[in-house]
Structure 1
Amino acid sequence: MADIWQDAMDHAVAIARRAGDVVREALLDDRMVMTKTSSVDLVTQTDQKVEKLIMQSVKDKFPTHRLIGEESVAAGEACDLSDAPTWIIDPIDGTTNFVHAFPFVAVSIGFSVNKQIEFGVVYSCLEDKMFTARRGKGAFCNGNVLQVSDQEDIRQSIIATEFGSSREPEAVNNIFSSLRSILCIPVHGVRTAGSAAINMCLVASGCVEAYYEIGIHVWDVAAASLIVSEAGGVLMDVDGGSVDLMSRRIVAANSRAIAERITEEIRSFSPPRDDAPPQH
């Protein structure tokens, strides 16, 4: 059977590469910074420029497809994932990294049909690493097959996480409570790349055994979730149930055993869902 979404995936790879060029050029001269929800929730003109570039190219080529973009949602558009073909776009995952020229900055493009991710593209621009996955066809980095780590002992593992953009004491206490518990299992180490998409691609690559976070958004993880699962990994909610990409909670791991062990240590909480109606 012909792969009816291959044309869309090829377009996603091409436009991610073009977006990466814009990001690299902007690093040289254009990192004007604004803030969104707090002084540490950053957005740049480049985020907005890249999102506009990707969205316009999709509208031109696939006019019937729907779009969810980080900056569009920030500007007030609904984050509504329907059964229709939908592009889920994070123009710069790792904006704070970008602002500081910290070298992990990704363009993330997920594509969903019937609320199921059909392909994912994550382009780590500064490393020039193109991570791709097509449902049922494996995961790749620059054309090389990805495979998760076969480490089953969490004490021999590296775990990735992020600290999020909230500096509210309660949120910070929750984050550090989980971090302390996981570190004291003990694990070999905890790492933070500053980009959810790249952390998940590191799981897919076998470099780290797991990544967990509460507070991410669907555009951070949509593409990379498929890359993890197609590389042989598992996705789970932080309470151990099935992952819900709108819930803003995720554990991505090389195996169910490692994922379940991590969920035992996480102090879980529930941020407002991505698909929640806006508060007036």
Structure 2
Amino acid sequence: MSDACARAALAGLLLVAQATLAQDETLRTQVEQKIRLSARLLGEHAAAQRIVASGHVQALAHLDEGRVHQSLAEDLLARGDYAAARQAADEALRHLSMARRLVPNAPARQAAARLRHEQQIASVERLLESWRARAGNDGPSLIDAIGVLDQARTLAQDQRYDEAQPRLAQAERLVLAGLSRVLGEATLDYTPRPATPADEFQLELSRQHAYAELVPLALRDLKPRPEALALVERYADTGRTLRAQALQRFEQGATHEALTHIRNATLYLQRALAAAGLIVPPSTGNPP
């Protein structure tokens, strides 16, 4: 072998060695980070104390297993066996997660339940106001929804969020069905007729917004299959794009084009709701 070939071969070996060292260094850093994380979580006094105080046999077993795997991960890291150390750290985290899941943090769970309830009830109240504005106050379904919503509020005042949840879900379904029915039967009230195209655009914009608020509720309540969910998201994205175009054209003074865009945006939201499983009655008549 010539000197030139030997030098080239040596250079190639050096590059391979450098790449291997770089990979090992990256792996070592990742494993060290994971082991530090598992050590910190296992060392959290409050969480460990909660698990021990619970007396839950399975949770205690998982906690002990987590500590064993953590010790093993640290030993393997010191010996340079990074792949095995990472696997042991993953096992430590898995056992800790299972222990925590068996003994949940009651105050944190209660706080999360309260926040979830407040967010959901605010959403239902907004839709209820939209329904009331269109249907008045004397519809039997509307009265039923208000009654069920009041029951959910009463339970929440006593911090009984788990019991309030089914009633809140029921109120949400009543509002969802009622508002979709009203929007389908009387999509826009043209009596009296809007004084200007700009007024008409604001009415259409309000209608489109009402449909937009129905979409997340329909997804949560009806739980469409993955292929239907993808369709819902595509239609909803198109609706948002058309709404943005409508607002842009309206600001530019092209009101008639803006009306076309916002009506098409509403149409795509109707399609999104239909894909989710909520059939919205078609609009009756044509706007003037």
- What is the TM-score with the length of structure 2 in the denominator? 0.24
Q: Which of the pair has more CA radius of gyration?
A: 2
- What is the TM-score with the length of structure 1 in the denominator? 0.25
Which fold has the larger relative contact order, with Cα–Cα distance below 8 Å and residues 6 or more apart in sequence?
1
Q: Which has the higher strand share?
A: 1
Q: Which has the higher helix share?
A: 2
